[in-house]
Structure 1
Amino acid sequence: MQLIKKPFVFARHAQSADNAAGKIGGSTDSPLSNLGVLQAKAARPYLDRPWSAIYTSDLMRTIQTAELASPRHTLTQMTELRERHWGVFEGQPIMDDMNYFETPPEGEPWSDFLERTVNAVNTILLTHEAPLIIAHSGIYRALQHVISGSPYGPRIGNADPVLITPNTNTSHGWDIIPFKGQLL
């Protein structure tokens, strides 16, 4: 499974009510917290620019983030960009030692989630040059897995955009760098 070699910007949604409570949100629809509203507005200098397209999941926290961070633009919602369904773990405290490869009871297998994520992003990249995708930390981990071979590593910050761009000079063929409003 590979990503189409085109640049795009990815941002995790701003802080949700579940994030603020230290709970696994997964595919549960959780609105932004008060801090999340401020985070999304603070991202506006970087994200309110002319994009070829802006895609979000169909969950409220990504839509609210996009509407606040890039208010003049039309959004396209994709169910396929939803966070992983964590089954019985949804609404439970976030665990420090999450095993992404283990299927949670009544949840979505990692392999299915990974395939869904890559197919969704490739669908976007087939039709748009340098789009903005606002989704979830799990989507980012799936992209990281495809790019570097592992979903593990630091969690992407809320409303903290990164530029994901092909780079043939790196061992895995991609760069993931903080996005400060300028495409390379």
Structure 2
Amino acid sequence: MIGRLPPKSFCLIRHGETTANRDGLIAGRLDVPLTEVGRAQAQSLSARHWPSRYQLFSSPMARAVETCTLGFPAQDFQIVADTHERDWGIFEGRPIAELPARAGRPEQGEDWAEMIDRVAAALQDCGRRAGDKLPILICHSGVIRAARILAGQDTTGTRPPNATPIFFNWTGTGHQEAPRDISTPETLRNF
């Protein structure tokens, strides 16, 4: 059963570049480190304009936690266990060219529909914990793709860029993925 997103705006940020991203490998649940480029990407988040009231969350995976720590220095954040990346089973560590179809369950891995439900529940939890603040979650490509499906998009879209905010604006009846360059002082008043 496909879950629902929280009835509020939120922001998802994919972690900085990892060694697996750089080398074209499927990382999924492998806890791969950030590259130097990834660390610089993460640090660049600290120079962006953010709303005055937000609640920061992170996937438990090291690449997300490090991105969160570098991008939001000295900010408290909460770990949300169910925002980890998809388990690609026997495909973990293989070249990205061998990535199986997203739909279904890769051998010894996590079913796509189950991941969507997991992500829906985790984002609902973040929304509740954030209260009247904007939830900002450092997560993974698969989490963002699941959120796109939950927002009613027809496809998962292209792979989200590393360390780039993606806003899901609550319209009152659903979510609209907002442009990635929306984090300016003027546009953040809407979040």
TM > 0.5 fold call:
yes
Does the C-alpha gap of structure 1 residues 181 and 55 become closer, same or farther in structure 2, counting only changes over 3 Å? Answer: farther
Q: CA 1:136–1:47 in 2, change beyond 3 Å: closer, same or farther?
A: farther
* Distance in 2 of aligned mates of 1:72 and 1:48: 15
* Distance (whole Å) between structure 2 residues aligned to residue 49 and residue 30 of structure 1: 31
* CA shift digits 1:52-78 (9 cap, x unpaired): 321111111001101111002012112
Shift of 1:151: 4.2
Change (3 A) 1:47 1:112: farther
Mapping of residues 135-174 of structure 1, within 5 Å: 135-168=139-172, 173-174=174-175
Distance 1:99 1:51, change over 3 A: farther
Contact 1:48 1:72 in 2 (8 A): no
Q: Counterparts of 2:184 and 2:16 in 1: how far apart (Å)?
A: 17
Q: Which moved more, 1:142-151 or 1:4-13?
A: 142-151
- Given the alignment of the two structures, is residue 28 of structure 1 paired with residue 30 of structure 2, yes or no? yes
- What residue number does 1:76 align with? 78
Runs of 5+ unmatched residues, structure 2: none
- Equivalent in the alignment of 2:46: 44
1:89 corresponding residue in structure 2:
91
Q: Cα 1:50–1:92, aligned 2, differ >3 Å: closer, same or farther?
A: farther
Q: Does 1:175 align with 2:173?
A: no
Mapped partners of 2:89, 2:50: distance in 1: 35
Mapping for residues 55-134 of structure 1, pairs under 5 Å:
55-95=57-97, 98-128=100-130, 129-134=133-138
Q: Alignment length, in residue pairs?
A: 181
Name the CA distance, whole Å, in 1 between partners of 2:4 and 2:11.
Answer: 17
The alpha carbon displacement at 1:152 in A equals 2.7
**1:43 partner letter:** L
Instruction: Tell me the TM-score normalised to structure 2 length.
Output: 0.87
Tell me how far 1:86 sits from its aligned partner: 0.4
Name the structure 1 match of 2:7. 5
The answer to whether the Cα contact below 8 Å between 1:53 and 1:75 also exists between their aligned partners in 2 is yes
Is 2:26–2:99's contact at 8 Å kept on the other side of the alignment? Answer: no
Paired-residue identity, %: 27
Q: RMSD of aligned C-alpha atoms?
A: 1.9
Once the two structures are TM-superposed, the CA of residue 5 in structure 1 deviates from its matched residue by 1.3
**Normalising to structure 1: TM-score of the pair?**
0.90
Equivalent AA in structure 1 for residue 9 of structure 2: P
Which one is further off, 118-127 or 37-46? 37-46
Q: Structure 1: 5+ residue runs without aligned partners?
A: none
1:105-161 alpha-carbon deviations (Å, 9 max, x no partner): 000011111111000000110121211101000000000011124443111100010
Kept in 2: contact 1:49–1:70 (CA 8 A): no
